[in-house]
Structure 1
Amino acid sequence: MKSAWIILSALVAGMLLGAGIEAASPGAGTASLPFIEPFGILWLNALKMTIIPLIVALLITGITATADAARAGSLAARAVAIFLVTIFLSGLMSLVMTPVLLRLFPLSSSAAAALRDGLGGASEAANSPSFSDFLLSLIPTNPIAAAADTAVLPLIIFTTVFAFAITRLAPEQRATLSGFFKALGDAMLIVIGWVLALAPFGVFALGYALAVKAGFAAFGGLLHYVLIVSGIGICVILLALLLAWAVVGLSLPRFAKAMVPTLAVAISTQSSLASLPAMLGAAGTLGVDPKKADIVLPLAVALYRFTSTAMNLAVVVYIAWLFGLELTIWEMAVGLAVAMAAALSAVSLPGSISFVTSIAPIAVSMGVPVAPLGLLVAVETFPDIFRTLGNVIANVAVTKYAADGVKDEEAASA
């Protein structure tokens, strides 16, 4: 929480300084860009260098961890199946609702142009492939070359097939390969942690450059982004409540009363892991067998992030919209698949780290610029509240649904 506010403060300070200098002495800010902006770009490049290894590590660890959890018993298998279905639904909802919110609450053309020019990175976006190009790109002739060329789609296909092959190996071999890619992902997280330790300086430089190019209109653009992504957060919370009522069969007043302590912890900590004891209490209040809750809820905290697919896709769709990129159905399908894998393999880390590790692979897989993420991470503090609230609500509802569908003797064998 402290680091998130420091990064946000650095962004605001950089933007105020840049806009103030350019307003007070037109041309002075522009003249200073060659001396300040490269530091921000250098910081962005340091983040980008981890993306390809992260895509491979996240996909493999996500698939193997999910498969291992499903083998743990009928209750765990049922819970994992519910995780997969519900994060798919939340991601699908986001792909529908984000464009709707952007049409209902558009950003003025001048503010959008200013924000776009300030963020830059449009040249990174790939052209939308035709259907034949899409088919031909599914199977890479050389996965190593695909990784080197940042050809993400064939790399994802190969990595997914490879991950499922790992799940069919003997336990010792499976553990060896899974451990290797888990270590690779952890190493990349350490590198990202080092890079993000310099985030206040990088974000300050990027914010300064943004404000010099876009002026005070940049503040309005970032506010619009926060409101749209937070709007998707509200939509995903409503979806979680709808599923709790219509599918799980919970009375919403009863559910809300049981969730009050959990929601209080979630808002104050913005951490699902820190909310686990309160979620166990809420599950008990709703009549869930404590033995079953002790299996499902820790599994949910480890694997299940109901809001991640929806809100991560919303960020990518917003960037695509800002740069005028038309996403094809194939790109959205690939993005949804990567978003689900990222949600299942994400770890409980500070929001600034998980923001980059989860969203950058999705953006690359959909051909959307990743450069704006360097600035958008600074305002993630506000949407992150909705992420945590939606996650804890879904965790408890899923625990109730999974527990009610498994007999006591089956759960005992899990």
Structure 2
Amino acid sequence: MSRPTRILIALIAGLAMGVLLSGWAPDFAARVTMVADPTGTIWLNALRMTIVPLVVALLVTGIAATAEAARASRLATRSLIVFVALLWVSSALGALVTLGLLDLFPLHGGAATALRSAFAGAAPVDEVPPFSQFIVAMVPTNPLAAAANDAFLPLIVFTVIFGFAVTRLPAHPRQLLTDVFKAIADVMLVMINWVLALAPIGVFALAYVVGAKAGTAAFGALVHYVLVVAGAGFAVSLLAIPVAKFGGRVKLPDYFRASTPAMAVAISTQSSLASLPAMLRGTAKLDVHVATSGVTLPLAVAIFRYTGPAMNLAVALYVAHVFGMHLTATQVAIGIAAAAVTTLGAVSLPGTISFVSSIAPIALAMGVPIEPLALLVAVETFPDIMRTLGNVVMDIAATTAIARHSGAAEPAGDETDALLSGEG
């Protein structure tokens, strides 16, 4: 049984037991809650302790990898510019779509109240300062203090500047520092795997508390969450159509036929990497030369997770919605920037591993509680399908656009087949 399946079963079992015990034996359910609550909190804290070093390490190595790719060729540089622009578009569009969906289909007041009571220890992290103070606070006087206080926006600003400064060093010290941060990220991922090995226990405990306090409303709230987040991912994924049609000058029927095999692999595996061979064959059918797709698509799989900013921000906005937070324009702008920037350092691993590390910095930067993330990770399997599907369709669309504007578009089916079979 896969880890996501075990976590999902623990979620359902915890919710069900919490609902049943609270209805049949309230006093006993309260005593069990006194044990389950600290158990879930300990597991959540174990997950949280890896976030700051992991995010910093991944941002530094992500910037280094991006800079290295940009040095490789003009095609790689052009691809990176397109990818970064699309990440910002994804983030901004994701915010608009998510806020629109929550306005049109808000979580029922009773369910929201019940969930808030279940996470009674969670609260908005900080008041967002006026815009002038916000601009000043973006540059930390002490990055270590910013890390210690979970002040993620100034920490991200410092880390991004630090990462670009590393790229200006001579080759030997640059590689040395990059290797150090890569090793830190690898260690954090090992620790996260250890913590996630205990996820069924932690999620069961948290789900039990939610079920006992929120009742059956918790089930409806989780379904509502999945639909909103997946809906945001679907909406931003539709942008691949105009990118392919107008950017790549591809006929839409041809685009859909070429993309269908890669989409099928994406849905079945939830892995962009596993979809890469099908994407290469798909772009060949769209007359993209292998010299272009052979650079652009592997680069996209490595650093371009198009749906990441939109769907990560959607999760943070949903948590804010549950807690009844009325986000200011400044907070939304902070979320858009944090989502777009941190995606460059996202982990190319299953959603259960990257979920908290990708979304917590966004939520903390906006002043949104992160405690619910430990429960929401249990249903990440469903939005993760939409994440991968959106990434794949945009990877193909962006590749066609880059190819057309690079002057490298010509029939290449035989060359691509030879490359995939190891003959070329």
TM-score, normalised to structure 2, is 0.93
2:345 corresponds to: 345
2:416 corresponds to: none
Q: 1:254-333 residue pairs with structure 2 within 5 A? A: 254-333=254-333
Shifted more, 152-161 versus 66-75: the winner is 152-161
Q: Provide the C-alpha distance between the structure 2 equivalents of 1:199 and 1:330, rounded to a whole number of angstroms.
A: 35
Tell me by how many angstroms 1:124 deviates.
4.8
Mapped contact 1:21–1:28 kept (Cα < 8 A)? yes
Which residue identity does 1:247 align to in structure 2? G
1:183 corresponds to: 183
Q: Provide the C-alpha distance between the structure 1 equivalents of 2:137 and 2:31, rounded to a whole number of angstroms.
A: 44
Identity %: 52
Shifted more, 239-248 versus 389-398: the winner is 239-248
Which residue identity does 1:67 align to in structure 2? A
What does the per-residue CA deviation read over 1:74-114, in whole Å, with 9 as the maximum and x for residues that have no partner? 11011100100111111100111111100111111111111
Mapped contact 1:120–1:371 kept (Cα < 8 A)? no
Q: 1:121-140 residue pairs with structure 2 within 5 A? A: 121-140=121-140
Shifted more, 200-209 versus 113-122: the winner is 113-122
Tell me by how many angstroms 1:407 deviates.
4.2
2:197 corresponds to: 197
Q: Provide the C-alpha distance between the structure 1 equivalents of 2:166 and 2:264, rounded to a whole number of angstroms.
A: 41
What does the per-residue CA deviation read over 1:284-303, in whole Å, with 9 as the maximum and x for residues that have no partner? 11111112211111111001
Q: 1:223-238 residue pairs with structure 2 within 5 A? A: 223-238=223-238
Mapped contact 1:363–1:370 kept (Cα < 8 A)? yes
Q: Provide the C-alpha distance between the structure 1 equivalents of 2:16 and 2:286, rounded to a whole number of angstroms.
A: 49
1:396 corresponds to: 396
2:251 corresponds to: 251
1:48 corresponds to: 48
SS at match of 2:141: coil
Q: Provide the C-alpha distance between the structure 2 equivalents of 1:140 and 1:238, rounded to a whole number of angstroms.
A: 38
CA 1:161–1:184 in structure 2 vs 1: closer, same or farther (change >3 Å)?
same
SS at match of 2:406: coil
Q: Provide the C-alpha distance between the structure 1 equivalents of 2:328 and 2:107, rounded to a whole number of angstroms.
A: 23
4+ long deviations beyond 6 Å: none
Q: 1:334-413 residue pairs with structure 2 within 5 A? A: 334-407=334-407
Q: 1:154-193 residue pairs with structure 2 within 5 A? A: 154-193=154-193
Mapped contact 2:40–2:203 kept (Cα < 8 A)? yes
Q: Provide the C-alpha distance between the structure 1 equivalents of 2:113 and 2:148, rounded to a whole number of angstroms.
A: 33
Mapped contact 2:283–2:400 kept (Cα < 8 A)? yes
CA 1:388–1:408 in structure 2 vs 1: closer, same or farther (change >3 Å)?
closer
SS at match of 2:249: coil
Q: Provide the C-alpha distance between the structure 1 equivalents of 2:248 and 2:292, rounded to a whole number of angstroms.
A: 16
Shifted more, 66-75 versus 81-90: the winner is 66-75
Which residue identity does 2:207 align to in structure 1? G
Q: Provide the C-alpha distance between the structure 1 equivalents of 2:50 and 2:120, rounded to a whole number of angstroms.
A: 20
Which residue identity does 2:19 align to in structure 1? A
Mapped contact 1:121–1:372 kept (Cα < 8 A)? no
CA 1:362–1:177 in structure 2 vs 1: closer, same or farther (change >3 Å)?
same
CA 1:239–1:120 in structure 2 vs 1: closer, same or farther (change >3 Å)?
farther
Q: Provide the C-alpha distance between the structure 2 equivalents of 1:196 and 1:293, rounded to a whole number of angstroms.
A: 36
Q: Provide the C-alpha distance between the structure 2 equivalents of 1:370 and 1:218, rounded to a whole number of angstroms.
A: 17
Tell me by how many angstroms 1:5 deviates.
1.2
Q: Provide the C-alpha distance between the structure 2 equivalents of 1:332 and 1:63, rounded to a whole number of angstroms.
A: 24
**Alignment gaps of 5+ in structure 1:** 410-414
Is 1:81 aligned to residue 81 of structure 2? yes
Which residue identity does 2:366 align to in structure 1? M
Mapped contact 1:59–1:338 kept (Cα < 8 A)? no
Tell me by how many angstroms 1:408 deviates.
5.4
Q: Provide the C-alpha distance between the structure 2 equivalents of 1:18 and 1:88, rounded to a whole number of angstroms.
A: 41
1:114 corresponds to: 114
Q: Provide the C-alpha distance between the structure 2 equivalents of 1:55 and 1:292, rounded to a whole number of angstroms.
A: 31
Mapped contact 1:128–1:327 kept (Cα < 8 A)? no
1:34 corresponds to: 34
Aligned residue pairs, count: 409
Mapped contact 2:364–2:370 kept (Cα < 8 A)? yes
Q: Provide the C-alpha distance between the structure 2 equivalents of 1:225 and 1:53, rounded to a whole number of angstroms.
A: 29
1:5 corresponds to: 5
Mapped contact 2:352–2:380 kept (Cα < 8 A)? yes
Q: Provide the C-alpha distance between the structure 2 equivalents of 1:42 and 1:371, rounded to a whole number of angstroms.
A: 11
What does the per-residue CA deviation read over 1:340-377, in whole Å, with 9 as the maximum and x for residues that have no partner? 23322223212100112211121122211111110000
What does the per-residue CA deviation read over 1:370-411, in whole Å, with 9 as the maximum and x for residues that have no partner? 1111000001111111111100101111111112222459xx
CA 1:91–1:206 in structure 2 vs 1: closer, same or farther (change >3 Å)?
same
Which residue identity does 1:64 align to in structure 2? A
Mapped contact 1:120–1:372 kept (Cα < 8 A)? no
SS at match of 2:239: helix
Which residue identity does 1:310 align to in structure 2? A
2:217 corresponds to: 217
Tell me by how many angstroms 1:130 deviates.
1.4
Which residue identity does 2:123 align to in structure 1? S
What does the per-residue CA deviation read over 1:48-92, in whole Å, with 9 as the maximum and x for residues that have no partner? 111111221122222222122111111101110010011111110
Mapped contact 2:128–2:134 kept (Cα < 8 A)? no
RMSD: 1.6
